[in-house]
Chain A
Amino acid sequence: MSGPALWSRAAAVAAALALASCDLPGRPGPEPEVLRPEQVLDFATLYSQNCAGCHGAAGKGGAAVSLADPVYLAYADDATVRRVTANGVAHTLMPAFAQSAGGMLTDKQIDVLVRGIRGWAGAAAPGGIKPPAYTAAAPGDAARGAAAYQTFCARCHGPDGKGGSGGHSIVDGSFLALISDQGLRTAVVTGVPGRDAPDWRSDAPGRPMTEQEVTDVVAWLASQRTQFPGQPYPSLNTTHGGKQ
């Protein structure tokens, strides 16, 4: 390349810089590059950093409750979602997120999460039928629950809940130790979206479960809890003093 070509190239670069100095792509935006963690108020960021690991990307397909499931959103109200997010669920794997409860999120951030999760709800409630209430009105009855289990659940989970043609065991001691009664109720009402686990309307063909039947089945499941879940380890002979 010759001298003049070089100079004209340099001049072109300089001119381009001078002209475009206002909107070059490299120019930093108005906010600081990196927000302090408590200043992050973007729902997608907050959700993917804190919740997606367990509840799935966009609230679907995770190992914990599908928060984006329209059935779930019709069943749980904002106050519930906020309370659980803030305080977690004791003795389960759902951590508390509010700073007041030892977590990392501010009240404002929790509001953003609650609003964002609510935003996943479509316009209408599912199928027109109102889902059972979030909390049981009265304590359930395990004996009646056993009967309801036979009606609604046995065809999949087997006659005693230890697994059948349509689903695995739901009375395993370790499983029951890691889920709350409320969590069981949620599982019965919403099923497991994306799997062949039906919600409360379609456990038995053509007949939705009544509020009372839901409560009773949960009482029955809860009555299957064992005193020392997970012990001894099925195949390892170590005596082990863990917590609980």
Chain B
Amino acid sequence: MRLLKALGEWLDFRLKLGEGIRDAATHPIPKSSASWWYVFGSAALTVFGIQVVTGILLAIVYVPTAAQAWSSLQVLNHDPTLGWFLRAMHGWASNFMVALVLIHMLQVFLFGAYKFPRELTWIIGVFLLLMTLGMAFTGQVLRFDQDAYWGIGIGASITGRVPVIGGALVHLLLGGPIIGGDTLSRFFALHVFIIPGLLIGLVSLHLLMVLKLGINEWPMPGRIVRRETYLKEYEQLTHEGVPFVPDAIWKDLVFGASIVAAIAVCAAVLGPFGPGGQPDPTIIQAAPRPDFFFLWLFSLLSLLPPQMETPVLLLMPPVAILILLLVPVLSGEGEKHWKKRPVAVLTVLVAAVALGSFTHLARSTPWSPAMSAWSGAPVPISELKGRSALERRGALVFQAKQCRNCHALGGAGGMRGPALDEVALRLTSDQLIRQVLQGGGNMPAYGKNLSPAETTALVSYLETLKPEGRPPAHDASQP
């Protein structure tokens, strides 16, 4: 014991770290800040720690070459003891980290913690969010399965739309004109060196600023932040405050530990992610899906009218990032409490509902017009009941021409177009014929791909799609 103490003193005399650590640990914080609401940032840091450790262990086995990446993950899944568990931890921790970073940001936003003097802390936080998403995206690519192919493919096609330099950017991203071995090397470098390096640097800075500027106090309605007076008021609060260790830190520790436990349970029960199907461009039946936090992007892509895609894709991310960066600049002072900031609360709600519903849509929409996507779902028996021989053929045309990829019947089918269960209430047979032959909206024209007999059968089937006993749509221009 005495030996240890002597060793410690010897080291500290030379390193000069002890005092700083002691100061940091015991620095006083406002009483109200020792709260369960203030644990998300530290939990995100804890999860980042897990990612570093599990990531290094994974890198020992993972082979970042196009030929072997996929099979090295198979090996990890099956051969080394608990190799699968390692993959599962890394995968689940990634999801948890994205979620925690988002929750942390949300809390900081709603508590007005980004206001003077913590503006830069927020701005760095925005970059930390981007890097976390970057890690999630590059990590998914390293799986190098069909989903990864999809991810890079979409990423590349978005990048390729940048005017003038698009082609060169794609080349830089992929390491060549196509997705191949060089692509994987680039993403490997990004995922294990470049982004983590930046992440560690910025996280340190972020933490340092939290220490130096103090943890945000619990907001009170009516307590206004002003540049001139805030520092004094805050000092007053810390005077009456409590030391960070142990009064606040135990909550961080308990929450962090529960998160780790939750990740471990998810990993143990739900297992690792993929790897999904082999990345082979010759497999055209593939129906890949990106990880959940990018799902909303897919439904946005598939729902936008084609001529809007490029502007939206190119403008939306920079504008969104810019808005986030400008938040503390634009409202660096004023009310902190959410009750007095209706616009802020409303913005959060709208964003949450939009992202939530896009994500939900994407879960029920097929990715690609693969044959098996939806045409595999049988026509509901109730929607064949009482139909004539011709109408039954029409139902077959509907299946064979894969209308189901965009249109649902009986709740099963794509969502790009409207569900057609009651279409005969809305459209007359003229309108149905026109819609099928000429398309319109986001629907392709089928005129050249349907014989007259097929069209007749199809339309006569569509005309039966209405609840029994209700009259069909009526053309107002005809008597």
**Does A76 belong to the interface (CB within 8 Å)?**
no
**Given A21-B82, A28-B77, A93-B397, also A63-B379 (CB < 8 A):** yes
CB-based contact B276/A244 at 8 Å: no
Taking a contact as CB atoms closer than 8 A, the residue among B261, B269, B274 that contacts A34 in the complex is B274
A21 proximity list for chain B (CB < 8 A):
81-82, 85
Taking a contact as CB atoms closer than 8 A, the residue among B265, B268, B376 that contacts A49 in the complex is B376
| Binding stretch for chain B, among A67-75, A116-124, A163-171 | A163-171
A26 proximity list for chain B (CB < 8 A):
84-85, 88, 267-272
**Given A9-B261, A230-B456, also A95-B400 (CB < 8 A):** yes
Closest Cβ neighbor of A95 among chain B residues: B400
| Binding stretch for chain A, among B205-213, B294-302, B387-395 | B387-395
Q: Which of B250-284 contact A (CB under 8 A)?
A: 253-254, 257, 261, 264-265, 267-272, 274-278, 280, 283
CB-based contact B451/A230 at 8 Å: yes
Give 1 or 0 for each of A208-239: 1 = CB within 8 Å of chain B CB. 00000000000000000000111101111010
Taking a contact as CB atoms closer than 8 A, the residue among B145, B381, B390 that contacts A174 in the complex is B390
Give 1 or 0 for each of B428-472: 1 = CB within 8 Å of chain A CB. 011001100100000000011011111111001000000000000
CB-based contact B393/A179 at 8 Å: yes
**Does B133 belong to the interface (CB within 8 Å)?**
no
CA distance A64 to B392 in the complex (A): 8
B395 proximity list for chain A (CB < 8 A):
63
Closest Cβ neighbor of B276 among chain A residues: A34
**Does A133 belong to the interface (CB within 8 Å)?**
no
CA distance A35 to B388 in the complex (A): 40
**Does A56 belong to the interface (CB within 8 Å)?**
yes
**Given A36-B283, A242-B448, also A27-B453 (CB < 8 A):** no
Taking a contact as CB atoms closer than 8 A, the residue among B264, B274, B450 that contacts A33 in the complex is B274
CB-based contact B453/A178 at 8 Å: yes
CB-based contact A1/B453 at 8 Å: no
Give 1 or 0 for each of B370-390: 1 = CB within 8 Å of chain A CB. 011001111101001000111
A206 proximity list for chain B (CB < 8 A):
none
B392 proximity list for chain A (CB < 8 A):
63
CA distance A63 to B276 in the complex (A): 34
**Does B35 belong to the interface (CB within 8 Å)?**
no
B283 proximity list for chain A (CB < 8 A):
36-37
CA distance A36 to B261 in the complex (A): 35
Taking a contact as CB atoms closer than 8 A, the residue among B88, B372, B450 that contacts A50 in the complex is B372
A48 proximity list for chain B (CB < 8 A):
376
CB-based contact A62/B378 at 8 Å: yes
Taking a contact as CB atoms closer than 8 A, the residue among B264, B376, B396, B450 that contacts A13 in the complex is B264
A210 to chain B, nearest CB (A): 24
CB-based contact A233/B274 at 8 Å: no
B194 to chain A, nearest CB (A): 29
B150 to chain A, nearest CB (A): 13
B454 proximity list for chain A (CB < 8 A):
174, 178, 230, 242
CB-based contact B257/A175 at 8 Å: no
CA distance A172 to B377 in the complex (A): 28
B377 proximity list for chain A (CB < 8 A):
52-53
Tally inter-chain residue pairs, CB-CB below 8 A. Answer: 188
CA distance A10 to B378 in the complex (A): 49
Q: How many residues of A contact B (CB 8 A)?
A: 61
CA distance A169 to B78 in the complex (A): 60
A33 proximity list for chain B (CB < 8 A):
77, 274-277
**Does B285 belong to the interface (CB within 8 Å)?**
yes
**Given A26-B268, A233-B433, A235-B430, also A175-B390 (CB < 8 A):** yes
Q: Which of A71-130 contact B (CB under 8 A)?
A: 93, 95, 104
Closest Cβ neighbor of A244 among chain B residues: B451
Closest Cβ neighbor of A32 among chain B residues: B74
**Does B95 belong to the interface (CB within 8 Å)?**
no
CA distance A201 to B76 in the complex (A): 61
**Does A4 belong to the interface (CB within 8 Å)?**
no
CB-based contact B451/A242 at 8 Å: yes
**Does B54 belong to the interface (CB within 8 Å)?**
no
CA distance A85 to B4 in the complex (A): 79
Give 1 or 0 for each of A17-33: 1 = CB within 8 Å of chain B CB. 10011001111101011
CA distance A157 to B430 in the complex (A): 28
CA distance A61 to B383 in the complex (A): 10
CB-based contact B393/A178 at 8 Å: yes
CB-based contact B437/A63 at 8 Å: no
CB-based contact B378/A169 at 8 Å: no
B88 proximity list for chain A (CB < 8 A):
26
CA distance A68 to B99 in the complex (A): 48
Residues of B within 8 A of A (CB): 74, 77-78, 81-82, 84-85, 88, 145-146, 253-254, 257, 261, 264-265, 267-272, 274-278, 280, 283, 285, 371-372, 375-379, 381, 384, 388-393, 395-397, 399-400, 404, 429-430, 433-434, 437, 447-448, 450-457, 460
Residue contacts A-B, CB under 8 angstroms, 30 given? A13-B265, A17-B82, A24-B269, A25-B269, A26-B271, A33-B275, A34-B276, A35-B277, A50-B376, A54-B396, A63-B379, A63-B384, A93-B396, A104-B285, A163-B388, A168-B390, A170-B389, A172-B390, A174-B460, A228-B452, A229-B456, A230-B457, A233-B456, A234-B429, A234-B456, A236-B434, A242-B451, A242-B454, A243-B451, A244-B453
